Amino acid sequence: MNIGQAAERSGVSAKLIRHYESIGVVPKAGRSDAGYRIYTENDVHILSFVRRARDLGFSMKEIKKLVGLWRNKSRASAEVKTLALQHVKALDQKIAQLEAMSKSLKQLARNCHGDGRPECPILDGLSE
């Protein structure tokens, strides 16, 4: 299987597959005589795994660890769980940050007429 098909099947673009290989997130693919990368079902499986981890917001560094744990049949699930819960914590912190921003901004916008006049509590709020 060429990289294009692997990309289609895994949902990871060919561009990104090469990138992931270069930073060691996925193992180096085999090569044809002409130098084309060759992918197996298992390779596609790894790529799909990476895509799902990415969809859950893990960083590439974390994904690299997760792939390592996934491929290591004798890992301790505690290690995976720790990684996952750390990420949950980071997500929840980010959510709280964004919620605070959204809330403040909604508050400012609520008081703004939003018409042709120049008076604007939003700008006043930013100006303090």
**Residue whose C-alpha is closest to residue 5's, from 113, 29, 14:** 14
Closest CB to DNA among 36 and 75? 36
Distance CA 20, CA 26 (A): 6
The residues with which 30 forms a beta bridge, in sequence order, are 38
Give yes or no for residue 8 binding a copy of itself (CB under 8 A).
no
* 9, 11, 18, 56: residue in contact with DNA (rule CB under 7 A): 18
Residue 50, H or E segment: helix 41-55
| Dihedral sign of CA atoms 17, 22, 25, 27 in order | positive
What DSSP state is assigned to residue 27? P
41, 49, 60, 65: residue in contact with a copy of itself (rule CB under 8 A): 49
Residues of this chain, 61-120, that bind DNA according to CB under 7 A: 61
Find the part of the chain contacting a copy of itself (CB under 8 A) among 4-12, 15-23, 26-34, 42-50. Answer: 42-50
DSSP, res 23: T
Q: Which is nearer to a copy of itself, 33 or 128 (CB)?
A: 128
**Which of the 8 DSSP states describes residue 29?**
P
Q: Which residues are at the interface with a copy of itself (CB under 8 A)? A: 45, 48-49, 52-53, 55-57, 66, 69-70, 73-78, 80-82, 84-85, 87-88, 91-92, 94-95, 98-99, 101-102, 104-106, 108-109, 112-120, 122-123, 125-128
